[in-house]
Each structure stands twice: as C-alpha cells, then as structure tokens.
A and B are shown apart, each in its own frame.
Chain A
C-alpha cells in the first residue's frame, strides 16, 4: 500500500510554519469558510458521520466525546493534548514543528463546534522548538484576526494558551493532564465524572490529541464521505505511523488505518542491512509485542486488539535479531518505574520490584523463581491500580516473556546457585 499524505502533505516544506506560506497552501481556508456560517451542530455531525476516532492512543470516537458536553453549560474548555511521551512516539512533535497552523485551524473548528472561547495546548516541556513555533503560530493567527475577539470578522471569540508542561509521562492521561493544567501534581482522577461533564476547573472539557484535531480540518474540508473512503470498516481515516528502532530510515509515514505492518516497516526502508526482523511494539511501548508471524497484520484498532495488542499511538518500535529481550524488558520497566506517579502502591512498588528482579537477571544473578514472580507482580499491579499506566507497564514485559520464554529462562540459568533462593530479596526504597 502506498502512503497517502494528508496531514503531512506540507511537512517537508521548511517554510510551512510561516503563516504566509501555510495560507498559500490552504491553511485557514476551511475555518474561514465555516466559522459563523455553518451551524456548529453541523460540524459536530460531520465529525460524528466521519466516525473519526481519537488518535492519541485510546481510539474513543471524537464526535461522541464532543456530544457528551452538557448543552446548558456556559463555560467549556478545549484542551489539546500535546504531552506526547510514549516511548517510540514522535508524531505530535512532527506535526507541531512542521505544520503548527494546521493544529491551530483544527482547534478553531473544534472550539467553534463545541462552543469554546478559551482553549489550551498542553505542550510537553521538552518540546522547546515545537512550543516556540506554536506560540508564534498563535501570535500570527491572532494578528490576522483568526484568533482573539471577532474571529474571521464574526462575533465569535477564541483564545488559545500554549501551556508548557514540565516532564511527566502520566500527564498524557487526560485527567492527570487537567490536574497538571490546574497547577497540581499530574495524578489521574477518578472517572466518572468524565472530563466532558466535569473537567478543567470542574467545567465541561474536551481533551483531544494533536493528530485528532489536525484530522478535523480535513474532515470538514473534504467532507465525511472522503474520510469514510479511507481505512477499514471500523477504523476509518488516516493515521501517522512512526517507525523507529532497527530500520533504515526511521520517521513518520501517513497511511490509511488497516495498512499491513509489513508495508509500514517497508516505508521506513526495512530492517538494517544484514539483520532480520525479530519483534516490534506496534503502538508505543505500552502494548503487547508482535513477532514475525504477525507481519501481515492490519494496523487498525480492531485487528490489533484481536491479536491481544493495541494500536495505541501507532509508534512501531522495530527490533532485529540482535536484540536482547530481557534487556528491553528491563529498560521499559525502568521507564515505567520512573514515570509511575506514586498514587497507587501496587504500581509504585510493583514496577520497582520488577526492575530489581530484571536487573539481577541481566547481571546473571536471577533465581529460578524470578520468572513466576515477575508474572505475579505484573498481573497484581495491573488489576489493582487506578489508571492504565500499570497495565501498560505489565504488557510489554509479559508479552516478551510469552513470546521469548527461552531468553528469560537462559538468563535465569546463568546463575548456578539460582535454585537455592526461594525468597525475593528487594531493597527498601527510602533509606
């Protein structure tokens, strides 16, 4: 299957972040055509009809999310989730650094549709260039009257605030993000109430990913029928796949959903020369591993869920035959340990214990009980934690153990005295 570039159409033009160039390439034309003319409900209907699903990872239908907003609420907020921190994910950075006006236009359309006058872009702290370009794009759009009071000469107003985060993976979870935006620690909130009912400052709030909002521009521009012509029956439209790891040309590639994994990897030039495919994480690191027999799998929400994995952020992390899966598991679990917010004990302590076990396995000091212990801890923390972080931490390690049990077994067998330990010595965290 060939790439179909819609969101990334102008991504290779270095002048695209400039409003003049962006407008020559059609930016803001869709917003200008519809703001104040098309009834907001009609835009919501278009998005519902297109069956666009959230592209930040969860895949929740966007139109449905918008419709959840109570009709009687006066103050509502839109938050653009640009806190991309999933290992392997870099599409949001790509979009905001290469075509920031596309996102601003998407936010104008979404805000108009759901009746928002103040919107936020919650931008990752480490994206210095992206944040700078977004702020510049907001300033340029305000200057031209596309933002601010009386946008496009109508009586509609919209202000966009570019909000810098300060480095926390969990702030990508929508309710944790709202806490962070309110000036608190990024810890997830209990759902329900969902943000659509009580979100930012307790007001109805829609949280949408960067890519989702960029898609809205094209749905409104080309119409829902065009969007429905792309992708599979239940996963419509385009998706930006990010391929990294052991491939020739890592990068972003835009395909319709349902494109076979093999084609996505081929777009990145295939494996490094002389190497062969071993495994990949298809949707960032928080999902189950795919192996060689899965290369034909269709990259859409349903096919991957049926395989026991997930599309997630569509960040394909490719690993070749030289990869040590025990080391990969350790590295990922260290990541989740660092990023666990600490709210739930099973996740905070569980990730730390598993790191200690994997560490000693890598050093050749594992015990024969370690493999069962990791499984027990992974299942325990997944079942008893509040938000999906713990599940996301368990899946990559459990699936690596399921697909490559011999590597874990071999790691344990390197310790000749491994069978003599029946207890799990773990160190106390706070000395």
Chain B
C-alpha cells in the first residue's frame, strides 16, 4: 500500500467536506503527492479506489494539471517563471544560470535528487520579476549574486 491510514483518513475527511465527494479528488491528490513526492500509478489506483472511480479517470486528472507529477521528482521544486514579464526582466538568462549551477537540463533533477528545476508559465508575481518559487516560497527579484545564497538557503527548507 502506498497510502497509509492517516492519509486515507484525511482523504475521507476531505470527501465529507464537499457536497459531492468527487470534488475532493484534486485536493486529495495534493495530499498524496506531498507525502510521496510524486504520483506513481499504484498511488493513483489507490486514490481511484477511495473515490470508486476507474483508475484512468484519476490518470486523466494527473496528466492534465501542471502541478501533478507521475515521475519521481527532486526533494524541492524550483519553479522559474519564464513568461513575458519575467522574460523582459531576464528570466532566460536566469534559467540558463540555474541550469549551469545545478548541472541540470530544464525540467531535470539534480544528481543528488535535491532539486527539480521547472521553467513555468506566469506564477503571478510579476512585480518581483524575474522570480521563482523555491519549495513553497516566492523568491524575487532574483539577481545574479542572489542565486548562490538562495540555493544554500533552500537546502534548509
């Protein structure tokens, strides 16, 4: 079993919050992903069982939404905004620099499994362009000299 009793209970509680329990599917997948780090097919199947759904319906959700991952991920995500406002303020160079520092390709995970670097669409903090989300924290505006310090700080998250 990939989903332990506590998570199962949390999902059942969520289901009772909504008028129709299927509404709890996306929040439930968030809970499972936070616990496992990603959503392997076995976990998707177990979630499907809790909702009395065929597994493919859960797969359809996981594959549609950007924040769900069906492949193993690094311990922390670094979402770097690449959309227009950030691009105008140098996000392309920022992504290049991060790839260089972390020795990964865009979308890749570092060898030590600590970071996955994801160039993202607009993350809604254009006032802080160029910006990124490290873990759950918004970081920006990111300057060249900041990058090293930010990565060092992220280790402690």
Interface residues of A (CB under 8 A from B): 84-90, 92-94, 118, 124-129, 161, 163-169, 180-186, 201, 242, 244-246, 250-252, 281, 285, 315, 317, 319, 323, 327-328, 331-332, 335, 338-339, 341
Known A85-B121, A88-B122, A124-B124: A182·B85 in contact at CB below 8 Å: no
The list of the 6 closest CB pairs from A to B, nearest first, reads: A167-B66, A244-B126, A166-B65, A183-B22, A128-B136, A183-B25
Contact across chains for A332 and B84 when beta carbons are under 8 A apart: yes
Most buried by A among B26, B124, B133, B138: B124
Contact across chains for B85 and A244 when beta carbons are under 8 A apart: yes
How many residues of B are in contact with the other chain, CB < 8 A?
A: 42
B76 beta carbon closer than 8 Å to chain A: no
Q: A85-B121, A164-B27, A180-B26 are in contact. List 9 more A-B contacts (CB 8 A).
A: A90-B124, A93-B124, A126-B120, A165-B65, A183-B25, A331-B82, A335-B84, A338-B121, A341-B64
User: 1/0 per position for B60-84, CB-CB distance to A under 8 A?
Assistant: 1100111110000000000100111
CB of A259 to closest CB in B, whole Å: 19
Known A126-B79, A126-B133: A319·B19 in contact at CB below 8 Å: no
**Chain A residue at minimal CB-CB distance from B20:** A201
Task: Jot down 15 A-B pairs with beta carbons below 8 A, ordered by A.
Answer: A87-B84, A89-B122, A90-B124, A125-B30, A126-B79, A167-B66, A168-B65, A181-B23, A183-B51, A184-B22, A186-B65, A242-B127, A244-B85, A327-B87, A339-B121
**Chain B residue at minimal CB-CB distance from A125:** B67
B88 beta carbon closer than 8 Å to chain A: yes
B17 beta carbon closer than 8 Å to chain A: yes
CB of B91 to closest CB in A, whole Å: 10
Interface residues of B (CB under 8 A from A): 17-20, 22-27, 29-30, 51, 60-61, 64-68, 79, 82-85, 87-89, 120-129, 133, 136-138
Contact across chains for A85 and B26 when beta carbons are under 8 A apart: no
User: In the bound complex, how far is the Cα of B84 from the Cα of A328, in angstroms?
Assistant: 7
Contact across chains for A85 and B88 when beta carbons are under 8 A apart: no
Known A93-B125, A201-B20, A339-B121: A183·B26 in contact at CB below 8 Å: yes
Contact across chains for A126 and B124 when beta carbons are under 8 A apart: yes
CB-defined contacts of A251 to chain B, threshold 8 Å: 127
User: In the bound complex, how far is the Cα of B49 from the Cα of A378, in angstroms?
Assistant: 43
CB-defined contacts of A328 to chain B, threshold 8 Å: 84, 87
CB-defined contacts of A285 to chain B, threshold 8 Å: 83-84
CB-defined contacts of A201 to chain B, threshold 8 Å: 19-20
CB-defined contacts of B60 to chain A, threshold 8 Å: 185
Contact across chains for B68 and A166 when beta carbons are under 8 A apart: yes
User: In the bound complex, how far is the Cα of B66 from the Cα of A169, in angstroms?
Assistant: 10
**Chain B residue at minimal CB-CB distance from A281:** B84
Contact across chains for B125 and A331 when beta carbons are under 8 A apart: no
CB of B71 to closest CB in A, whole Å: 16
Which of B25, B129, B138 interacts with A129 by CB under 8 Å?
A: B138
CB of B6 to closest CB in A, whole Å: 19
CB of A184 to closest CB in B, whole Å: 8
Contact across chains for B129 and A250 when beta carbons are under 8 A apart: yes
**Chain B residue at minimal CB-CB distance from A250:** B127
Known A118-B19, A161-B18, A166-B30: A90·B84 in contact at CB below 8 Å: no
User: In the bound complex, how far is the Cα of B13 from the Cα of A161, in angstroms?
Assistant: 13
User: In the bound complex, how far is the Cα of B84 from the Cα of A92, in angstroms?
Assistant: 19
CB of B76 to closest CB in A, whole Å: 13
Known A124-B124, A185-B61, A339-B121: A166·B67 in contact at CB below 8 Å: yes
User: In the bound complex, how far is the Cα of B85 from the Cα of A86, in angstroms?
Assistant: 11
Which of B30, B64, B82 interacts with A168 by CB under 8 Å?
A: B64
CB-defined contacts of A331 to chain B, threshold 8 Å: 82-84, 87
User: In the bound complex, how far is the Cα of B123 from the Cα of A92, in angstroms?
Assistant: 12
CB-defined contacts of B123 to chain A, threshold 8 Å: 126
CB-defined contacts of B89 to chain A, threshold 8 Å: 245-246
Contact across chains for B122 and A317 when beta carbons are under 8 A apart: no
Contact across chains for B124 and A85 when beta carbons are under 8 A apart: yes
Known A183-B26, A201-B19, A246-B88: A86·B67 in contact at CB below 8 Å: no
Contact across chains for A168 and B20 when beta carbons are under 8 A apart: no
CB-defined contacts of B22 to chain A, threshold 8 Å: 182-184
Which of A93, A167, A183 interacts with B67 by CB under 8 Å?
A: A167
Contact across chains for B84 and A317 when beta carbons are under 8 A apart: yes
User: In the bound complex, how far is the Cα of B138 from the Cα of A93, in angstroms?
Assistant: 12
CB-defined contacts of A339 to chain B, threshold 8 Å: 121
Contact across chains for B136 and A90 when beta carbons are under 8 A apart: no
CB of B118 to closest CB in A, whole Å: 11
CB of A361 to closest CB in B, whole Å: 17
CB of A146 to closest CB in B, whole Å: 19
